[in-house]
Amino acid sequence: MTERPLTDRLDETVDAIVARRDATDALRDPELAPLARIAADLRHYPSPEFKASLRAQLERRASMTAVTTAIRQGFTTVTPYIRVREAGLVDFLAQVFDARETFSGRGSGGGMHREVRVGDSMVIIGEGDAGGGGVMPIRPVAFHVFVNDADATFERAIAAGATPLGEPADRAYGERSGFVADPFGNHWYIATPLGRESVAGALRTVTPVLHVKGAAAYVEFLKRALGAIEEMRHDEGGQLRYARLRIGDGAIELGEGEPMPGSFLLYVGDPDALYQQALAAGATSLMPPTDQPYGRIGGVEDALGNQWFFSRPVTTSS
Write out the residues near other proteins by the rule CB under 8 A: 6-8, 10-11, 14-15, 18, 34-35, 38-39, 41-48, 50-51, 54-55, 57-59, 61-63, 65-66, 69, 196, 201-202, 229, 231-232, 234, 246, 249, 251
Find the helix packing angle between 271-280 and 215-226, rounded to 10°.
Answer: 140
Least distance to other proteins from the beta carbon of 201, Å? 8
Least distance to other proteins from the beta carbon of 297, Å? 23
Least distance to other proteins from the beta carbon of 41, Å? 5
Least distance to other proteins from the beta carbon of 45, Å? 5
11 versus 129: smaller Cβ distance to other proteins? 11
Least distance to other proteins from the beta carbon of 117, Å? 16
- DSSP sequence for the chain: -PPPPHHHHHHHHHHHHHTT---GGGGG-TTTHHHHHHHHHHTTPPPHHHHHHHHHHHHHHHHHHHHHHHHSTT--SEEEEEEESSS-HHHHHHHHH--EEEEEEE-TTSSEEEEEEETTEEEEEEESTT-GGGTPPP---EEEEE-S-HHHHHHHHHHTTPEEEEEEEEETTTEEEEEEE-TTS-EEEEEEE-STT-SGGGS-SEEEEEEESSHHHHHHHHHHHH--EEEEEEEETTEEEEEEEEETTEEEEEEESS----EEEEE-S-HHHHHHHHHHTT-EEEEEEEEETTEEEEEEE-TTS-EEEEEEETT---
204 versus 296: smaller Cβ distance to other proteins? 204
39 versus 90: smaller Cβ distance to other proteins? 39
113 versus 246: smaller Cβ distance to other proteins? 246
27 versus 181: smaller Cβ distance to other proteins? 27
15 versus 170: smaller Cβ distance to other proteins? 15
> Hey, which residues does 291 pair with through a beta bridge?
296
59 versus 98: smaller Cβ distance to other proteins? 59
Phi-psi region of 174 (alpha: psi -120 to 50; beta: other; left: phi over 0): left
62 versus 314: smaller Cβ distance to other proteins? 62
**Terminal C-alpha separation, the chain:** 74
Task: List Cβ neighbours of 49 (8 Å cut-off, separation of 6 or more).
Answer: none
Contacts 24+ apart (CB under 8 A), 110-114: 112/87, 114/90
Least distance to other proteins from the beta carbon of 211, Å? 22
Least distance to other proteins from the beta carbon of 10, Å? 6
50 versus 318: smaller Cβ distance to other proteins? 50
Least distance to other proteins from the beta carbon of 196, Å? 7
Least distance to other proteins from the beta carbon of 292, Å? 27
